[in-house]
Amino acid sequence: MRVSVVIPTHNEAQSIGRVLADLPANLVTEVLVVDSNSTDGTPEIASKMGARVLHEPRRGYGRACLTGLAGASSPDVVVFLDGDYSDRPSELPILLAPITDGRADITLGSRLQGRRAAGALPWHQVFGNRLAAALIKVLYGLKISDLGPFRAGRADVLRALALEETTYGWAVEIILKGTLGGFRIVEVPVSYYPRIGKSKISGTLKGTVGAAWFILSLIVRYYFRHRRAGMPRPA
């Protein structure tokens, strides 16, 4: 099975080396570091450690993930994780198992089911993720607990979803389109640690509120768009 790992980065020189070193080499076919305009040497470190670096000058977390998905070379499975060493790359087998066993098309690493180090997720992030998960359960019938960044999916399924969200919406768009499309989404517990380096999205109040608002409104918008299209609600 060919497994491509996509890691979006913007100035993660302090952590990218540890992320790459911890990836289980025997399970990974290729690693793509999708970098946006880092000025701290992140792409140089990544390529020295054997990753393929894709330069994506357009900012946006989702944009970087989309560029990675498009650039992966004939993968069976694509895995996404962050470059700040919040996720533990050594836990990759936990995400791959339901897919290789044929039980899942997409797996989501839940930080709220897993072991969280103190301070890894501030209360407003815990609250925001639980709220989004509850709304997804009510509107879509899918039982999940978190919208964490460490996730995997069959490449053919991810490509069939025609993902297009270039910013905060990326994390939730996979889940909404995946479940509406009848694909099997399985959540597995993963651990989560305080990031190394400087916070970029969730560390600021503006970033958190902006992301939360965007994600919650997307969950509602997709629901009504789907209903207007006259399609049945998934069981």
Ligand X SMILES: Nc1nc2c(ncn2[C@@H]2O[C@H](COP(=O)(O)OP(=O)(O)OP(=O)(O)O)[C@@H](O)[C@H]2O)c(=O)[nH]1
Strand ranges, E, within the chain:
3-9, 30-35, 52-55, 77-80, 106-110, 151-154, 185-189
For ligand X, the closer CB: 107 or 129: 129
The only residue of 4, 5, 8, 43 in contact with ligand X, by rule CB under 6 A: 8
**What residues are paired with 33 via a beta bridge?**
7, 53
Beta strands 77-80 and 151-154: pairing type?
antiparallel
Q: Applying CB under 6 A, which part among 20-28, 31-39, 127-135, 158-166 lies near ligand X? A: 31-39
Residue 75 contacts ligand X per CB under 6 A? no
**Cβ of residue 207: shortest distance to ligand X, in angstroms?**
7
**Cβ of residue 176: shortest distance to ligand X, in angstroms?**
19
Q: How far apart are alpha carbons 50 and 181 in whole angstroms?
A: 36
**What residues are paired with 8 via a beta bridge?**
34
The only residue of 17, 43, 60, 169 in contact with ligand X, by rule CB under 6 A: 60
Q: Applying CB under 6 A, which part among 53-61, 157-165, 170-178, 220-228 lies near ligand X? A: 53-61
Three-state secondary-structure class, residue 28: coil
Closest CA to 152 of 208, 94, 95, 75: 95
Q: Applying CB under 6 A, which part among 81-89, 137-145, 157-165, 180-188 lies near ligand X? A: 81-89
Give the interface with ligand X as residue ranges (CB under 6 A): 8-10, 12, 34-36, 56, 59-61, 64, 82-84, 86, 195, 199-203
